[in-house]
Structure 1
Amino acid sequence: YEKKTVKRGILISLLITAGFSLLVALMPSIAGSFSSPSDSQLPEQLRLALVHDRASLLKADAFRSFVLIILTAGALWLAITKKLHVKYFYVFLALLVIVDPWSIDRRYLNDSHFVSKVDFTNQYAKRPVDEIILQDKDPNYRVLDLSVNTFNDSHVSYHHKTIGGYSPVKLQRYQDMIDYHIMPEMRRIWEDIKGASTISEAQARLGDYKILNMLNTRYIIFNGSNPPLSNSKAMGNAWFVDSLVWAANADEEIALLDSVDLRHSAVVDERFKDLLSGFVSGKFPEDSLSSTIQLTSYSPNQLIYKYKTKRERIAVFSEIYYPAGWSAKIDGQPVEIFRVNYILRALRVPAGEHEIEFNYMPESIEKGATYSAIASGILIILLVLGILLEIKRLYLKK
């Protein structure tokens, strides 16, 4: 291209872009009113302040764009007229490209968005009640903390397995249990211990809370500075039941939890009838002495139990039923998990002494790992082929 044409193009581009930026900087109102229908709900003073702030932001960014355009156009003009070496032009352009986004990024991620390690750790400092509970070296229990917003506070989960905590992806079935059973039982606890003047008196007033017991709630916190209340009726991490109570649908299943003795029976949806056909219900004299089940190993994605029983039993586990990820094996052989008590998992286990293993491995992760391995293998093969072809080309050239 001729220099004259290039210079003319630069000047036209400069006038359009820089001119528009300068126009917006001087008269930001051309962009609109800087208000929205929702602003009408705000007090007048706050609404006017928001409008002013929005206009100021646009004005500042428009002027900033004007300066950047002028600097870039100036550098390009000097490079074309050979008053600036091309390599220095590229260096200058690279600096602008780095500094401009960096300054914008700092608006959204800067020092104010970070905390020191000390400040971060302090928020998880142990309270006196946490120190007391952690003296219990058996990790197989859960804690209900009534001193915080139970289902919107994640700090308790830093030290304990909890009934509450926070997750934006909470399972709907667990939310149902919170609404229909757990929250009412929490209110009952407060009513039961209301007026107690000592920890011992509050402890003595604790009642029987079926769903919290089923969820293995061993400790109840009502004040972070006081000792916890101990729930002796917690049912443990696994137990055998003697009978099954069938529910026609989800509504009936969650409702039956009020009337069924969950220590000895389990509420089961009728969709699992085929899986449990032929199972003999009933309590036998030898059951209480000969049947045991114990959690021997725990990790977030693997649970191992050992059990002993003289007859076929139904084992209920105080863990959430989630078939999309969890699978089970007995002595290495896959078995099907079914749902009981609306949210818990259960297994039909044969007589004898056996080991149960639960593993969490969603199909999506398994497929993803397989596809990733295949893709990596193809890339390695292509890389090796490319290197070999290049070696062959160089050899033939010589």
Structure 2
Amino acid sequence: MARTILIIGGGIAGLCAAIALQHIGMQVKVYEKNAGPAAAGAGIIIAPNALQALKPYGISDEIIRRGYPSSGFRLMSDRGQYLTQLAVPADYGSQYSIHRKDLHQILLSALPPGTVEWGKSFSRLEQRDNCVRAVFDDGSYAEGDLLVAADGIYSGVRQQLVPAETYRYAGYTCWRGVVSGDHLPGLSPHFIETWGTKGRFGIVPLPQNKVYWYALINARQSDPRLANYSAQELHRQFANYHNPIPDLLLKTTPSDIIHRDIVDIMPMKSFYSGRIVFVGDAAHAITPNMGQGACLAMEDARVLSDCLHASAGDHEAFVHYDARRRKRIQQISAQSWKIGKVAQSESFLFASIRNQLMKRVLKKISHNQAERLYRF
């Protein structure tokens, strides 16, 4: 008899887990607090390691078909001077940018109708000898053999089981937006990230002549002044940065902007507890400096599915899943945190030395790191 698996969270991690688990014959139900599929959001980059992980399910081909390809990020100074390229090794293919709502639609379309139940906000769980029960805010509940917690960095499941887990504020806050690429002199077809002492700015082309941008500025956590920053205020912050950064911000309307502080959690000491297993940000939310948050969630889904399929029992599967994921996630989490500290420096002297090093000696190092990062 097929195992029944409950998934809490209908974001990228939850939907990928559902696809992977259905692929091995599990009966899966996803419970999502939102009333329907996400209509908003910004861009996202899917790296080769995630495409490899999703290959058995036909999703990779659809992302490639609908995404915008790139061979890597070009790092620039605030004056527009080329520093180095964080390249995808040639034999790994490309990375692809896509709008989050389009990725969400691709994942949903890979699931049978009715797999996701909307408007179900998780309240609490109860583990029993032979099942696990998820209770929702509306008083309803669901029972299954196992439960996958995929409910994000502020996971209610994790907070119930491991209430002492703490969040780390990275020291900087982030704005994101998507605008039209029309009439933007200096717009490059490449993925670009600019490092300057007033902040970092990323420019990522999307399909259909759209442009995804993001800006990161050092700030106090939960600063109310920054929470309501307008595109005009961001324009003043980045007015002296190279084209087309100022023009991108001038084209941005208030409805285009998404803002949040950058926070991560240390990877959990154990990615499972009894009949519960954690995937994605619920288990190991990382800073976005390597573009790997969603990609690691996609890897989680594939590895969890493989472990459940190959193991004699659920506990054995969870042990193998934890062992296969832990070292890689810890390494990427730590590296991403360090990159953020280096990239966000406001010291002119440090930035000057950093930029010279990036131009002269980091190409081989970054290639070796990319080989490890993009290998699934």
**Greater helix share, 1 or 2?**
1
**Greater strand share, 1 or 2?**
2
| TM-score interval, smaller chain | under 0.3
- Structure 2 length-normalised TM: 0.22
- Structure 1 length-normalised TM: 0.21
Larger relative contact order (CA 8 Å, sep ≥ 6): 2
Specify the structure having the higher radius of gyration (Cα): 1
